[in-house]
């Protein structure tokens, strides 16, 4: 395990993106989002994605020089064509446009089509919270993963929902979750560790629970949040449908990798994203009245009597804030396999290895 | 078991509300929403709520002659003071205002404070879908029910999320869910039937799973969707926090019954609601392009291979549509206890019993 500073990691990532033909601005944006995600401890969605991005770029699924355009614009809502860009630059643009609309109208929405993986949804929701706004970000994903309740084949993606809301004296509340019981990354982590999965995460070809992590990683069939019907899996499924409508159908993207008209898997990648910003001042009349009540909500949750005094009740965003404090000071820890992966990408891309 | 036609039930409910001092318009609105909810088979949130409403009205928690006012208004967002009305009239007004804003700006939001129980959130989301718009409705609740992950005391309500999106040739997709593993009504149904609960629904005072439905009904401590930490209960908890922020904090309402500044339970009822409408035409440029892709999504989900051919995969909203078709034709089935309850309310309110 080595640790790498945010600055060095950012420079390494940007040099790779530049070598692939990204503009300086796009390279910096992708690097900034990825490093922030690593600083927050969401290791599955930062630099850990680099080799996947390389593969998609080599396969022509990522356009290094996209013409990202606003194709429809109303006072409260706009639609963006990402032209097969890697997702981070159009996502940052979309959230900025949603925020500008929210400042003028109370609420703003931006949808993005023909996009790619954009990292962690929470980053974009958090952008709004940093500006005193409430942010929501959702996304469809390139391939199916979630098996609908009563079904035995995946049809929807992990379809994440992120929500961020600023407070007055507390850090923003940040929710960032797949609508599957677990993200696929949790299955691969168990497989690498040679561990079984808890019952309720993954399914076999007949829709029965599957604890063998090796098979589960190969089958890619994860339950909706809730796990099984009796425990509310139809709710996780319903949330994923909501995310699919708002991200894919509203932007005209594929349906978690399926061509809408045929239901067949598409060759190309065409992910949709949904972004929303809300201005608390428009609703409450005063930013302070809102912020103080947010602090009260944080206090109410934090003072919940815990089952185990050693594990207090958390407020959504706490683990990420703790990771951020540690990693800003000590650097981002990277396991040897990840270091090797990044070094190989750098080598193949013809740029110096910075760590 | 008797069945009552929608018209008769509606007249009965309206006569009761009129006797309590509601205006003709408010009485009709409450009755219409409740009967629609019963027609859709959501028995816990329609006429089944009448005796609770009576109790709250007698306790002075429901203002029969509220002055419902828009207190803040921006082009995309408005805030409504419900003046302690029963929730249905201000909720219908709020969704209508959100829809009008969406038609002009692409998106519209309305928040409501100082309100009461409004029945099923899905009704309001569905209002938008009936007009070709996408609708979202959320609400806080009068008392805590959900125990945050790692905690052993309820802090948030059942905090429902509803989502509705129209299609072209299919009925709208409608998601309507508590963010708890189950609504409290499921626990009382099990208690009345003398059945144990499945493990994972409810907790005891020490935060351990509780299957005794008698004790669970008394303790009112339900898990967040996900059930336990390993199966993602922090996600259900996170969603409930999102609903609390959007419904309560944005409208200045209580925090699931807690006074914000002290965290103590309040005497009065002051629920907050959140409503949003989105215009698909603003995003896609054409209502038809959107509607056709919605039909494709419905087809994709419906053709998921089922585990059991006798139980096909459902699209969210299917059970409610089936109930609606049956009950429109045959009437709304009411168990004897519920019939007696409604007759007693009518008697106490001094209005004729219509069934």
Q: Does B157 touch chain A (CB under 8 A)?
A: no
Would you state the pLDDT for residue A193?
A: 87
Note whether B311 contacts A: Cβ–Cβ < 8 A: yes
pLDDT, averaged in runs of 10, over chain B (355 residues): 96 98 98 98 93 96 98 98 98 98 97 97 98 98 96 97 98 98 91 93 97 96 97 98 98 94 90 98 97 98 97 97 96 94 97 96
Give one DSSP letter per residue of B118-157, joined into a string: -S-HHHHHHHHHHTT-EEEEEE--SS--BPPTTBSS--B-
| Chain mean pLDDT for chain B | 96
Pick from B41, B32, B40: nearest CA to B11:
B32
Q: Provide the pLDDT confidence category of residue A340 given band limits of 50, 70 and 90.
A: very high
Q: Would you tell me the crossing angle of helices B24-39 and B88-105 to the nearest 10 degrees? A: 80
pLDDT for the residue A64? 98
| Three-class secondary structure of residue A315 per DSSP | coil
DSSP state of B59: T
| A299 vs B contacts (CB less than 8 Å) | 263
Q: pLDDT tens for residues B248-301?
A: 999 999 999 999 999 999 988 899 999 999 999 999 999 999 999 999 999 999
Residue extents of the structural domains in chain B: 1-63+331-355, 66-181+222-302
| CB within 8 Å of chain B, chain A residues 210-239 | 225-227, 230-232, 234-239
Alpha helix positions (H), chain A: 6-19, 24-39, 50-58, 88-105, 121-130, 184-192, 213-219, 233-244, 280-284, 287-302, 318-330, 336-349
Distance in angstroms (rounded) separating the CA atoms of residues B112 and B90: 7
Rounded CA-CA distance A352/A341 in Å is: 14
| Consecutive H or E run containing B242 | helix B233-244
Token output for A185: 């990354």
A181 contacts on B by Cβ (under 8 Å): 226, 231-232
pLDDT tens profile B152-171: 999 999 999 999 999 999 99
pLDDT single digits (tens) A41-50: 998 899 999 9
Q: What pLDDT score was predicted for residue B271?
A: 96
Average model confidence (pLDDT) for chain A? 96
How far A214 CA sits from the closest chain B CA (Å)? 19
**ipTM computed for the complex:** 0.98
CB contact B290 to A (< 8 Å): yes
Which residues of B are less than 8 Å from A239 in CB distance? 161, 175, 177, 239
Tens-place pLDDT, residues A214-262: 999 999 999 999 999 999 999 999 999 999 999 999 999 999 999 999 9
The Cα–Cα gap between B36 and B34 comes to 5
State which fold the B66-181+222-302 domain adopts.
Answer: Ribosomal Protein S8; Chain: A, domain 1 (3.30.1370)
CATH of domain A68-174+236-302: 3.30.1370.60
Mean per-residue pLDDT for A281-297? Answer: 97
Q: For the beta carbon of residue B350, count every other beta carbon within 10 angstroms.
A: 9
| Helical packing angle, B318-330 and B24-39, nearest 10° | 110
pLDDT category, A185, cuts 50, 70, 90? confident
Query: Running DSSP on this structure, what letter comes out for residue A258?
Result: B
Q: Residue B309's CB: how many other CB atoms inside 10 A? A: 7
Which helix (H) or strand (E) element contains residue B164? strand B161-165
User: How much is the pLDDT for B307?
Assistant: 97
- How many inter-chain contacts (A to B, CB under 8 Å) are there? 315
For A75, other C-beta atoms within 10 Å of its C-beta total 17
What pLDDT, on a 0 to 100 scale, did the predictor assign at position B26? 98
According to the model, what pLDDT value does residue A17 have? 98
| Fold of the A1-65+330-355 domain | Hypothetical Oxidoreductase Yiak; Chain: A, domain 1 (1.10.1530)
A105 pLDDT higher than 90 = yes
Tell whether B320 lies on the interface with A, counting CB pairs under 8 A.
no
Cβ contact (<8 Å) for B304 and A153?
A: yes
Nearest-CA neighbor of A111 among A85, A82, A83?
Answer: A82
Chain A contact present for B98, CB below 8 A: no
d(CA B133, CA B101): 11
Query: Tens of pLDDT along A149-182?
Result: 999 999 999 999 999 999 999 999 999 999 999 9
**pLDDT on residue B52:** 94
Per DSSP bridges, beta strands B134-139 and B271-278 are antiparallel
Q: Where are the alpha helices (DSSP H) in B80-232?
A: 88-105, 121-130, 184-192, 213-219
CA distance, residue B203 to nearest chain A CA (Å): 11
Paired with A161 in beta bridges are: A138, A177
Residue A267 has pLDDT above 90, yes or no: no
Question: Would you state the CATH architecture of domain B1-63+331-355?
Answer: Orthogonal Bundle (1.10)
pLDDT at residue B45, as a whole number: 93
């Amino acid at each position: 395990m080595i640790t790498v500073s945010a600055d060095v990691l950012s420079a390494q990532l940007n040099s790779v993106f530049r070598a692939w033909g990204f503009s300086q601005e796009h390279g910096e944006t992708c690097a900034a989002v990825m490093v922030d995600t690593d600083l927050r401890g969401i290791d599955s969605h930062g630099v850990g994605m680099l080799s996947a991005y390389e593969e998609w770029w080599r396969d022509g699924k990522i356009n290094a020089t996209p013409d990202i355009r606003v194709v429809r614009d109303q006072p409260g809502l706009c639609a963006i064509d990402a032209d097969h860009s890697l997702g981070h630059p159009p996502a940052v643009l979309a959230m900025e446009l949603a925020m500008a609309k929210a400042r003028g109208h109370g609420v703003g929405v931006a949808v993005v089509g023909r996009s790619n993986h954009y990292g962690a949804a929470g980053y974009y929701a958090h952008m709004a919270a940093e500006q005193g706004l409430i942010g929501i970000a959702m996304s469809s994903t390139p391939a199916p993963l979630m098996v609908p309740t009563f079904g035995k084949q995946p049809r929807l993606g992990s379809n994440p929902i992120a929500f961020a809301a600023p407070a007055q004296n507390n850090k923003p509340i940040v929710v960032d979750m797949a609508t599957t019981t677990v993200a696929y990354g949790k299955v691969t982590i168990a497989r690498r560790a040679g561990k079984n999965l808890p019952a309720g995460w993954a399914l076999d070809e007949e829709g029965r629970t599957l604890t063998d992590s090796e098979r589960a990683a190969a089958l890619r069939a994860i339950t909706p949040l809730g796990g099984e019907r009796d425990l509310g899996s139809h709710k996780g499924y319903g949330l994923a449908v909501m995310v699919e409508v708002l991200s894919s159908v509203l932007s005209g993207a594929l349906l978690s990798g399926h061509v809408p008209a045929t239901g067949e898997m598409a060759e190309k990648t065409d992910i949709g994203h949904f972004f929303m910003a809300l201005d608390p001042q428009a609703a409450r009349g005063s930013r302070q009245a809102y912020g103080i009540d947010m602090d009260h909500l944080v206090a109410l949750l934090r003072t919940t009597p815990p089952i185990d005094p050693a594990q207090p009740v958390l407020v959504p965003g706490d683990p990420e804030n703790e990771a951020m404090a540690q990693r800003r000071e000590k650097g981002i820890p990277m396991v040897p396999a990840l270091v090797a992966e990044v070094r190989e990408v750098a080598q193949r891309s013809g740029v110096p290895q910075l760590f």
